Amino acid sequence: MTNSQTLDNTINKAAFWSAVVLILAGVLSVFLPLDAPEGAFADRMMWYNSNVGAYVMGWIVQMIAMLTLSAVFAGTAWQTRQSHPLSTFLAGTALLIATVAFIIPKFIAIWSIPQMVVASSTVSADVAVAEQLFQLLNPSLPFSLFQSFDYLGFWMYGVFGLLVARPLFRLSLSAKIAAVALAVFGLVFHLLFVGVLTSSVVTADIGVYFESIGVLLLVPVISMAIYFRKAMKATGVA
């Protein structure tokens, strides 16, 4: 087995197990909170004080899910590197930007927000600053700094999907299914993006639309997991 084949097998194996971990993280995230219930600021702060541990764990799981999703997409882009090197390079760049954009809000949720909750519950000069920052980072608001990074990440996922869809469609059936799903996600996301910029989509509906189209990403994850598994079996790795 050549070094190139060994590298291919390693990437396929890593991408496959990333898909498995991603699905498990997705199931686990259903049982963990990612934000306080809607209500007055004081009520939300009381909720954070009582549930900060579960909140942090929820965002740790989200961080794992995001990193494994990016790993699956990186393995997907690897499959097109020889036939379409430029598209693969651009897709990889978009994927890198998306991963960095996603890391920022999730790190804030894990690192900064618990400290803000502690600061707001104590009598100190940091209370006012903590409360102002907390409202600025409110994950419930689609225009908050927190959510803006998330939407940037999804935008770059959309760009990634459009770049790899055509070369990916030339591969096996499971890759074709992934290609169609990624292309649809990219197109729908950009239509939604235009709708937000032109005020055709109102602020209150942005989160619902984004969550709905985000489900499309499950299709390429499952399809490419099948693709990676078959590639592993074909080389005797599995």
Question: Which pLDDT tens digit goes with each residue over 138-160?
Answer: 666 777 777 888 889 999 999 99
Percent of the chain with pLDDT over 90: 50
Which pLDDT belongs to residue 124?
65
pLDDT for 238 equals 58
pLDDT tier at 127 (50, 70, 90 boundaries)? confident
Domain ranges (residues) in the chain: 3-234
CA distance 188 to 230: 30
Q: How confident is the model at residue 113 (pLDDT cuts 50, 70, 90)?
A: confident
State the Cα–Cα distance between residues 14 and 71, nearest whole angstrom.
8
> Angle 64-33-222 (CA atoms, 0-180°, nearest 5)?
40
Q: Write the DSSP string, 65-126.
A: HHHHHHHHHHHHHHTTTTT-HHHHHHHHHHHHHHHHHHHHHHHIIIIIHHHHHHHHTSSSTT
Query: CA–CA separation, 180 vs 168, rounded Å?
Result: 9
Predicted confidence at residue 116, as pLDDT, reads: 81
Over 60: is that where the pLDDT of 237 sits? no
Position 50 scores a pLDDT of 87
Q: What is the pLDDT of residue 1?
A: 59
User: What is the predicted pLDDT for the residue at 82?
Assistant: 87
Q: Regarding predicted confidence, which is higher, 209 or 56?
A: 56
pLDDT tens string 15-52: 999 999 999 999 999 899 988 887 777 778 888 888 88
The overall average pLDDT reported for the chain is: 87
**Position 56 confidence tier, pLDDT thresholds 50, 70, 90:** very high
